[in-house]
Chains A and B, each alone.
Chain A
């Protein structure tokens, strides 16, 4: 009895040994690529007969493409429009090199079918399963907002970062010889509406981080002064009209203070002032130009441009200790600094050989990356998630336009706001 037990045990042990895995081979993969996720956005099935709905898939496709992290698959040759996982032929989509598809349908709901409900899914082709399935309700006239929100949800799911497709931008247009207007619009340029009309120039529009107000510089008093305007009510107050110039308003991260630039009959210097106009404090005193202040997201440092070294370069000053450190060293000069929302990247204009272009610099490694070529690129600002940059540029017609460029440098897309010349532009915050 004992013998057969041990025999059995021995056999089992043999089998186990023979099946025993060797130490696993290890393969190390170092680094990676900046590539775009191929996505196909299929037209949603419209049970509603409202033609505008058919454009939703285009809005989603444009949003994802503009971000530079996605590339849309050409579906012109596809006749099969699934609306959910059950209808998807996975091998077909895999053959088209698509990693994900977005499908959905639109139903009319509510009393007299006045509302619509969009039911959509994000489907993973390789895993052959649905990643997300969501239903959204809204008015037919809101189809663009709904499409932007769908794009945001997809973006967040696949990249881990918030999408910015439902945010706003502001820009100043010169409509005629003595006709300037400050507009607010969807981030892609749709639905523009003027919030200030003036016979004189308007520059440096800046949204407060809480999204409620916008500060700007106006020349309507025959000299530059700073206004702060409530976006919802349109009511404005004069923040700074000191002797000389008043310009370059920059909101602190908590929206309570602004850094501004005054000349007070001498060269441009940086001050801080409370949002209600009180408590003005001079931040530094030098014989050189100090201008274009920009706060770091933690509120501890202010970046600015200065010609103290001979040519315009970017520096940062510690708000408490007043210690100044130079930040940029490449090219002829560097101006217009701003910080990414995570504080890790500096965005600015780099000039060399006479061309102004948009550039970013990693503040840890100090590596610089040129995002555009110029020659007259200006007014750069990050999107609220730090993945895109809005800027103005001159096309061959010598008219200034606006566009976005992804921070991986892969995608530059114009924003269509008409043919008049743009002076400056800025990006609004994420809505909470």
Chain B
């Protein structure tokens, strides 16, 4: 384009030229300012999830999006299209549903697996707990057993101690009795007047009378000594009974043999029992006259094959 008025005026040319430069610079300045406002990095930083949206620079040239005119479809085509669409929609829907379903199944599966896992973990946990519990119980039982055993041992020890005590007591008692008997013997052997003698025996009377255990003791001693000699093999196998009466001297020997009151009806048995009595002489006799007089005549009852019911 030719501007004649511009070509003939040098001043105007120069003035216009400077104006254009100043305008350009001015525009440039504006743009620079804008540009500077754009990015204050060091001034303040704000963190977002997404990248901070930058202020887009205004495009200098707007590109025009070409509009493509779609050809108008016919009704049939429209229907087909619609069908196609519908199909596609349906397919899409189905796919979506399938996807959903799969997703749901997957979710379910995952949920189930998770559940299983949790259940397994729970089981394990419970098993471990149970094991622990059992171990604890076993331990408890062991402890109880130990305790019981200890208690048993203790009880036995106590029992044994008691027994020992009992034995000691009995021994002591026997010793006391020995002492008493010795004393009595000494008194008896002294040459005393009859009255004194009666007096002592009188005292002994009291002692003997209150101490009936003595009588039982001698009866037991006699019973034991005769029992050792009873040869029950000669009395068969059936229950039977024999009764003998004997009269004794203070020495423990029999006067006049053993008198049979009741026979076993088996001669060898009668004889065996009689032999047992005779063989047991001298029978243990107390020194005490009063006691002796109670044991002077005895009835001996034998049941060699056990008690008769």
Contact = CB atoms under 8 A, between A and B. Distances in A.
A33 B278 contact: no
Contacts of B172: none
B102 to A, nearest CB: 70
B301 A25 contact: no
A27 B234 contact: no
Given A25-B219, A27-B300, 20 more contacts: A24-B245, A26-B298, A26-B301, A27-B222, A27-B223, A27-B301, A28-B223, A28-B301, A28-B303, A29-B300, A29-B301, A29-B302, A30-B303, A30-B307, A32-B231, A34-B233, A36-B231, A127-B278, A158-B271, A160-B267
B222 to A, nearest CB: 6
A405 to B, nearest CB: 15
A362 B266 CA distance: 21
A35 B297 CA distance: 28
B304 A32 contact: yes
* B: contact size bracket: 35 or more
Contacts of B300: 26-27, 29
B222 A21 contact: no
B237 interface: yes
A126 B229 CA distance: 13
Contacts of A99: 275, 279
A283 interface: no
Given A160-B266, A344-B237, A27 B298 contact: yes
Closest 8 CB pairs of A and B: A32-B232, A160-B268, A32-B230, A32-B304, A126-B278, A24-B299, A26-B299, A35-B231
B295 interface: yes
Interface string A32-76: 111111000000000000000000000000000000010000000
Interface of A: 21-22, 24-37, 69, 99, 126-127, 158-161, 344, 362, 364, 408
B306 A31 contact: yes
B285 interface: no
B304 A31 contact: yes
A126 B275 contact: yes
Contacts of A29: 223, 226-227, 230, 300-303
B119 to A, nearest CB: 52
A153 to B, nearest CB: 13
B227 A32 contact: yes
Given A24-B299, A25-B299, A29-B300, A34 B268 contact: no
Contacts of A160: 234, 266-269
Chain A contact residues: over half helix, strand or loop, or mixed? loop
Nearest to B220: A27
Contacts, number: 93
B218 to A, nearest CB: 9
Interface of B: 215, 219, 222-223, 226-235, 237, 245, 257, 266-269, 271, 275-276, 278-279, 294-295, 297-307
A18 to B, nearest CB: 12
Nearest to B297: A24
A35 B232 CA distance: 8
A94 to B, nearest CB: 9
Contacts of A127: 257, 278
A22 B294 contact: yes
23 contacts: A24-B245, A25-B215, A25-B219, A25-B294, A26-B300, A27-B222, A27-B226, A29-B230, A29-B301, A31-B227, A31-B304, A32-B235, A33-B230, A33-B232, A34-B232, A35-B229, A36-B231, A37-B231, A69-B233, A69-B234, A158-B268, A159-B234, A364-B237
A33 B279 CA distance: 14
Contacts of A27: 219, 222-223, 226, 298-301
B306 to A, nearest CB: 6
A426 B128 CA distance: 73
B297 A21 contact: yes
Nearest to A131: B271
A32 B302 CA distance: 9
A34 B231 CA distance: 6
A32 B280 CA distance: 14
Contacts of A161: 268
Contacts of A126: 275, 278-279
Contacts of A35: 229, 231, 233
B247 to A, nearest CB: 10
Nearest to A387: B233
A160 B223 CA distance: 26
Contacts of B227: 29, 31-33
A343 to B, nearest CB: 11
B228 to A, nearest CB: 7
